[in-house]
Amino acid sequence: MKGGRKYKAQGDAFSHAVHAGQGPRTAVACTHARTGRHYARRVNVDECRALSAGTIPTTWARTLPGLAWVPGSGAISLDVLPESVWVAFAPLTARRTAPRRLICPHCTRPCRSVYASPYGPQGQPDEQVGCRACLGLTHPARQRHKCPDWAAQVLEHPQNHSPTTRRRALQVINGSASRILHAVRLAGHIEPLEK
Ligand SMILES: [Zn+2]
């Protein structure tokens, strides 16, 4: 736009927070393949090692106060090793005998799984241990947001979603459609399905 306001890339709020040292304890540093822009994204639970309460032997869960977990190898033991993290079990209740809940070593809240992320707050190689909430982890299902299959699902049952969500889904569908049309135009012709 000639003479208009100068456009300046602002970046997203999450990347800003990470670069300012106000992001979660773990993040992934990314570079956009096409534009070369640097940004940060949340770490996925699938990218972390996990210790789940359900996988702890029942006898341990019933009788012990906690265990030592080695995130690198996934080993669990009763001996605290230099590379291990002590994960305490939440107290037993009348209803809950086993599996017990785990106590997050960082925020001390009861949780079902404790995770070890391979990245530090700026995306550097590191080991950060904690629950999903205090590491700010995300789930793959959440990242489907704004993808064409997410949009299709929203528009299939529009009554289940807010007007804002429906509008965003329509934008996603329109965006993908115009990209497809653009690609087809670049290809010059459409291959016939059957010869
Ligand atoms: Zn925590």
Strand order in the sheet with 66-70: 75-77, 66-70, 85-88
pTM over 0.85: no
**Banded model confidence at residue 98, pLDDT cuts 50, 70, 90:** low
Task: Report CA(107)–ligand 1 centroid distance (Å).
Answer: 4
Q: Give 69 Cα–ligand 1 centroid separation in angstroms.
A: 16
Domain ranges of the chain: 45-138, 148-187
Distance CA 86, CA 80 (A): 7
d(CA 43, CA 48): 8
The answer to whether residue 188 scores a pLDDT higher than 70 is: no
C-alpha of residue 149 to centroid of ligand 1, in Å? 32
Percentage of the chain beyond pLDDT 70 is: 86
Q: Which residues neighbour ligand 1 (ion) by CB within 5 Å?
A: 104, 106-107, 130-131, 134
| Confidence (pLDDT) at 176 | 82
Kindly give the distance from the C-alpha atom of residue 130 to the centroid of ligand 1, in angstroms, as a whole number: 5
108 C-alpha to ligand 1 centroid (Å): 6
Give per-residue burial for 107-138: e unless 16+ CB within 10 Å, then b. Answer: eeebbebbbbbbbebebeeebbbbbbebbbbb
pLDDT tens digits for 21-43? 999 999 999 999 998 999 999 99
Q: How far apart are CA 65 and CA 88, in angstroms?
A: 6
Determine the pLDDT at residue 82: 87
Question: If you measure from the C-alpha of residue 59 to the centroid of ligand 1, how many angstroms do you get, rounded to a whole number?
Answer: 25
Q: Given pLDDT bands bounded at 50, 70 and 90, which one contains residue 1?
A: very low
Cα 173 off chain centre by:
24
How many angstroms separate the alpha carbon of residue 40 from the centre of ligand 1? 21
Average pLDDT of every residue of the chain: 86
Q: How far is the CA of 57 from the centre of ligand 1 (A)?
A: 22
Amino acid (1-letter code) at residue 68 = A
Tokens 């809240």, located at residue: 109
Query: Distance between terminal CA atoms of the chain?
Result: 47
